[in-house]
């Protein structure tokens, strides 16, 4: 099956620093990657949609200058949390799509837990 990896699986950083999270599709080329944020005991909230070679599309209320997304290749997308603050602490999940039949099935990465001190 299609596998999506994320690195790192967890990260702790100091307030004011930037953190980069990688999302890779290991055995397929993903046309689109998605970034989600999940707070404890809550659902997944879509942050942005990323297409290879073009600018990401951010959901309403998500600061594009705060959460920088780069989709440099068909197998790699990165999310950089700039000038992180404790309120940015969360679980970040990426997914990648594989065009299948009439819809784009999404395959999810294992997530990255970010803690900002």
Partner 1 sequence: AQTVTQSQPEMSVQEAETVTLSCTYDTSESDYYLFWYKQPPSRQMILVIRQEAYKQQNATENRFSVNFQKAAKSFSLKISDSQLGDAAMYFCAYFGAAGNKLTFGGGTRVLVKP
| Binder of partner 1 out of 43, 54, 86, 87 (CB under 8 A) | 43
The backbone region for 93, taken as left when phi is positive above 0, alpha when psi lies in -120 to 50, beta otherwise, is: beta
Stretch 86-115 residues interacting with partner 1 (CB under 8 A): 91, 93, 95, 103-106, 108, 110-111
The minimum distance between CB 47 and partner 1, in angstroms, equals 11
- In the complex, the smallest distance separating the C-beta of residue 65 from partner 1, rounded to whole angstroms, is 22
Diameter of the chain measured on Cα atoms:
45
CA 34 to chain centre: 6
- Single out the residue of 30, 33, 34, 75 in contact with partner 1 (rule: CB under 8 A): 34
Q: Which is nearer to partner 1, 63 or 105 (CB)?
A: 105
Single out the residue of 15, 17, 18, 42 in contact with partner 1 (rule: CB under 8 A). 42
Beta bridge mates, 107: 96
Alpha carbons 110 and 84: distance in angstroms, whole number: 22
Q: What share of the chain is helix, strand, coil (3-state, %, to 5)?
A: 5, 55, 40
Residue ranges that bind partner 1, judged by CB under 8 A? 32, 34, 38, 42-46, 49, 91, 93, 95, 103-106, 108, 110-111
């Amino acid at each position: 099956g299609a596998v999506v990896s994320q690195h790192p699986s967890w990260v702790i950083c100091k307030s004011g620093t930037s953190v980069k999270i990688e999302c890779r599709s290991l055995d397929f080329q993903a046309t689109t990657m998605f970034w989600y944020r999940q707070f404890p005991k809550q659902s997944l909230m879509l942050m942005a949609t990323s297409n290879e070679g073009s600018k990401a599309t951010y959901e309403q209320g998500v600061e594009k200058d705060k959460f920088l997304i780069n989709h440099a290749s068909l197998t790699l997308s990165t999310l950089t949390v700039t000038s992180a603050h404790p309120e940015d602490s969360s679980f970040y999940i990426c997914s990648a799509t594989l065009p299948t039949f009439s819809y784009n099935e999404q395959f999810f990465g294992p997530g990255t837990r970010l803690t900002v001190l």
